[in-house]
A and B are shown apart, each in its own frame.
Chain A
Amino acid sequence: MADDFLNIDLVFRNGLKDYEALPPEEVWYSVQASLSRKKTRTIRLLTIRAASVALITASAGTLMWFALSGLSEEISGKQAITLNQEQMPEGRFIPGNKQLSDNNVPPLSGVTFPGLPGEEKVQNVTNQATGQQTAAAPLAELKTENRSLTLLVMQPKPASGTGFIVEKNKGKEFLLNNPEPENRPQDSEKWKLGAAFLPAYYSKFSFGSNDAAKDYIKQENFAYSYSGGLSVAFNVSGRLSVQAGMVLNNMGQKVEGVISYSGFGKYSEAKSVSDFAIRTASGTINSVNKDIFFTDRSNISRVLTLYTADVFDPVKADLRYVGNSVIQNLKYLELPVSLHYKLIDRVVDISMSGGLSYNILVGNTSFIQSEGVKYIIGKTSGLSPVTFSSSLGLGMEYQMSPSMTLSVQPVFRYYLTPLGGITGSAIHPYSFGVMSGFFYNF
C-alpha cells in the first residue's frame, strides 16, 4: 500500500514537474498596470512630501518675515494709541516716517492720552530720506501717566485710511497708526474651536486607459455631496493660523445605464453567491439583494450575470420596474490640516487657506431608489480604503463678538490619490463648495 501511495505521488510529481500552460495575455496587462500604479503612487507620494515641505517652508518664511518686519514697527507698549484731533497741537510733526523712541518715558496707564500738552519731548529725530539727525520739534507735550511710550509711528495718510490726521504741512498729511477694532480678539486668544458645514458640487478628472473604463466613466456622475465636522485652529501669529479637524464627508455617485426590477427573489436559485455584479469605473458592486434583477440599458455592458436577456425576461416574468440608475454612496472620515493666512485683517477678515487631508473610507453602500423607497444592493469592491486630498480656499471671517467668529469660505478640493477603480481607470474627484461655520475664540 505504501508503495502504491509512493507510486501515485511520483506519478503526479513527475507528470506535472514540467507542466506549462500559456496564461491569458490580460494577466500581464494587469501586472503591468499594477506595477505602474505603484510607481505612480511612489512619485505622487514624493510630490506630496515635496509640496508639504515647500508649503511649510513658505509658511515659516512668511511668518519669520512678518515677525522680523513687525519688530521695527511695534510699539513696545503693544497698545494702540488713540488721539483726538483736538488733542494734537497744530504745526507739529515728525519729518519722514520715523519711529521715535524714548525709554525714559514712564509707562502709560490708559489707552488714550489724557491731555495735551505735557512735559515729555522727543530729543532727536532721524530723517530717513536724508539720514540726517536733527533736533526735532516737540512731538507733543504729553502727560503719559505711568505708561511707556517708546514708539510713535507717523505715516502718510492713505487714500482711504482711517485714523487721525495730526499734521498738514507742505501738502503732506500724516496720521497715527490705525486704531485696532474694538472687538478684535486679544493676543491671549490663540485658539479657536468651531463647527463647519460644507455642501459641495463634485466632479472628477478621470483617466481611462481602456475602452471599457472610458465608457463607464461617461455614465457616472456625482449626485450630491456634503460634509460637516469640528475643527480647532491655533493662531501662530496675528495673520497666520494652523487648523486641524475631523470631518465626515458624504458623497453619492450616480451610475447610469443599469435597469433594475424588483420581485426577482422567487426566480433566484443562488444560495450564497451574487446573481448580479455591476461594473463601475470605481469598482464592482456585487448585489446581495436577491429580490432585484439588473440588466443593461445601453450597449455598454455593466451587468455581469447568468440571467442574460436570452435566459430571463423580466417583463414576461412580471417583475416591477424600479429605476435606471444605481447610487454609490461613500462616506469618508477626513482628517484635514490647513494653513490660513489673513490677507486683510479687519473686522471682516479676508483670508486664504491651503491644506491636505487624510481620508478614511468609513461607509460604502450602493442602492437603487424608487418613489422614496431605497433598496440596498451591496458594496462597491475595489475602492481604496484611504485617500489624500488637497484644498485651497479664499474666504472671509466676521468677528461677531470678541469670542465668536463667523466663517464663510469657498473651497476647492482635489483628490491627489484615486478613489479606486477597475484596471485601466483612475478617478480623481474635485469639488467646489462653500464652507460655513462658527468659531469660538479662547
Chain B
Amino acid sequence: MSDIKEIIKGCLEGSRRDQELLYRRHAPKLFGVCLQYSDNDEEARDILQEGFIKIFQNLQNYKHEGSFEGWMRRIVVNTALEKYRARHNLYRVDDIETINEPEAEPGNDDYAGVQADDLLYIIRNLPPKYRMVFNLYAIEGYSHKEISEMLSISEGTSKSNLSRARGILQKKVSIYTGLRRSVING
C-alpha cells in the first residue's frame, strides 16, 4: 500500500516513470473492464485511454480512503457510460418498456468451468442497453435507482433490461455448457 502511495505521489509531482509504473500495473485489469463495457476492441482502447487520462488528471482528488483500484475502476466505468450515452443519445433506448419475463427458460445448468474469455465473449454480444444494465447491476452492484439516473432511463426499464439480459445470458451460457459437455463426452 505504501508503495502505491509513493507512486501516486510521484505521479502528482509529474514523474513520468511513476505514471508509467501506475499504468503498467493497472492497465490490464482496467482493460478487462473496458472490454466488458464495449462493443469492440477499438472502443475498449478509447475507454481505457480516456479513463487513464482522467485518472491522472484527478489523482489529486483521491483521498487514500478506499481501494485505489476501486477508485480507478469507477472512473473507467463512468468513462464507458459517457461513451455509451454519447453514442446512444441520438437513438434513445426505448424508455417505455415494461417488465417481461425472460425469453429463455433457465435450466438446471451447471455453469462451472465456463472460461472468462467465453463469458466476456457472451456479455459483449449482448445488445448494448442490456449489457450496460447487467454490468452495472450484477457486476458493479449498483441499484436500479442509481442505474436509472446513470443511463437516464426509468427504474422499470432498468429492471426490464436486466431481466432480458439475464435471460439471454442464461440461454447462451447453457448452449455453451451443453456444447462443452457434448464435446467432452464425445
Interface residues of A (CB under 8 A from B): 1, 4-5, 7-9, 11-13, 15-16, 18-24, 26-28, 30-32, 34-35, 38-39
Inter-subunit contact B28/A21 (CB<8 Å): yes
Q: Apart from A12-B123, A23-B44, A28-B23, what 9 extra A-B contacts exist at CB < 8 Å? A: A9-B137, A9-B166, A13-B139, A16-B32, A16-B116, A27-B45, A27-B48, A28-B24, A34-B49
Inter-subunit contact A23/B166 (CB<8 Å): no
Closest 10 CB pairs of A and B: A4-B106, A20-B28, A9-B138, A19-B32, A23-B31, A15-B119, A11-B111, A19-B116, A31-B52, A21-B31
**Residue A23 contacts which of B45, B53, B116, B139 (CB distance < 8 angstroms)?**
B45
Q: Which residues of B contact A34 (CB under 8 A)?
A: 49, 53
Measured between alpha carbons, how far is A2 from B158 in the docked complex, in Å?
A: 17
Q: Which residues of B contact A8 (CB under 8 A)?
A: 106, 111, 138, 166, 169-170, 173
Q: Which of B24, B34, B111 has the most CB of A within 10 A?
A: B111
> Which residue of the partner chain B has the closest CB to A15?
B119
22 contacts between A and B (CB under 8 A): A1-B106, A4-B170, A5-B166, A8-B173, A9-B137, A12-B134, A15-B119, A16-B32, A16-B139, A18-B116, A19-B116, A19-B119, A20-B31, A21-B35, A22-B27, A22-B28, A23-B45, A23-B48, A28-B20, A28-B27, A31-B56, A34-B49
Inter-subunit contact A12/B45 (CB<8 Å): no
Number of A-B contacts (CB under 8 A): 94
Q: What size tier do the contact residues of chain B reach?
A: 35 or more
> Which residue of the partner chain B has the closest CB to A22?
B28
Contact with A along B27-51 (1 / 0, CB 8 A): 1110110111000000011001100
Distance in Å from the Cβ of A366 to the closest Cβ of chain B? 22
Measured between alpha carbons, how far is A11 from B109 in the docked complex, in Å?
A: 11
Distance in Å from the Cβ of A347 to the closest Cβ of chain B? 56
Does B127 sit within 8 A of A, measured CB to CB? no
Measured between alpha carbons, how far is A31 from B20 in the docked complex, in Å?
A: 10
Inter-subunit contact B45/A24 (CB<8 Å): yes
Inter-subunit contact B52/A15 (CB<8 Å): no
Contact with A along B8-29 (1 / 0, CB 8 A): 0000001010011001100111
**Residue A12 contacts which of B20, B31, B57, B169 (CB distance < 8 angstroms)?**
B169
With A12-B138, A12-B139, A30-B49 known as contacts, the answer to whether A22 contacts B31 (CB < 8 A) is yes
> Which residue of the partner chain A has the closest CB to B174?
A8
**Residue A16 contacts which of B119, B166, B170 (CB distance < 8 angstroms)?**
B119
Distance in Å from the Cβ of A22 to the closest Cβ of chain B? 6
> Which residue of the partner chain B has the closest CB to A39?
B14
Q: Which residues of A contact B36 (CB under 8 A)?
A: 16, 19
Distance in Å from the Cβ of A36 to the closest Cβ of chain B? 9
Contact with A along B91-117 (1 / 0, CB 8 A): 000000000000000100001001110
Measured between alpha carbons, how far is A13 from B57 in the docked complex, in Å?
A: 29
Distance in Å from the Cβ of B19 to the closest Cβ of chain A? 7
Inter-subunit contact B116/A31 (CB<8 Å): no
Inter-subunit contact B20/A15 (CB<8 Å): no
Q: Which residues of B contact A15 (CB under 8 A)?
A: 114-116, 119
Q: Which residues of B contact A7 (CB under 8 A)?
A: 111
> Which residue of the partner chain B has the closest CB to A29?
B49
Q: Which residues of B contact A1 (CB under 8 A)?
A: 106
> Which residue of the partner chain A has the closest CB to B119?
A15
Inter-subunit contact A19/B120 (CB<8 Å): yes
Q: Which residues of A contact B137 (CB under 8 A)?
A: 9
Measured between alpha carbons, how far is A8 from B137 in the docked complex, in Å?
A: 12
Inter-subunit contact A23/B119 (CB<8 Å): no
> Which residue of the partner chain B has the closest CB to A42?
B14
Q: Which residues of A contact B56 (CB under 8 A)?
A: 31, 35
Q: Which residues of A contact B52 (CB under 8 A)?
A: 27, 31
With A8-B166, A13-B139 known as contacts, the answer to whether A21 contacts B32 (CB < 8 A) is yes
Distance in Å from the Cβ of A65 to the closest Cβ of chain B? 41
Distance in Å from the Cβ of A123 to the closest Cβ of chain B? 72
Q: For window 45-104 of chain B, which residues contact chain A by CB distance below 8 Å?
A: 45, 48-49, 52-53, 56-57
> Which residue of the partner chain B has the closest CB to A7?
B111
Inter-subunit contact A11/B27 (CB<8 Å): no
Measured between alpha carbons, how far is A23 from B53 in the docked complex, in Å?
A: 15
Q: Which residues of A contact B123 (CB under 8 A)?
A: 12, 16
Q: Which residues of B contact A19 (CB under 8 A)?
A: 29, 32, 35-36, 116, 119-120
Measured between alpha carbons, how far is A175 from B139 in the docked complex, in Å?
A: 94
Distance in Å from the Cβ of B102 to the closest Cβ of chain A? 9
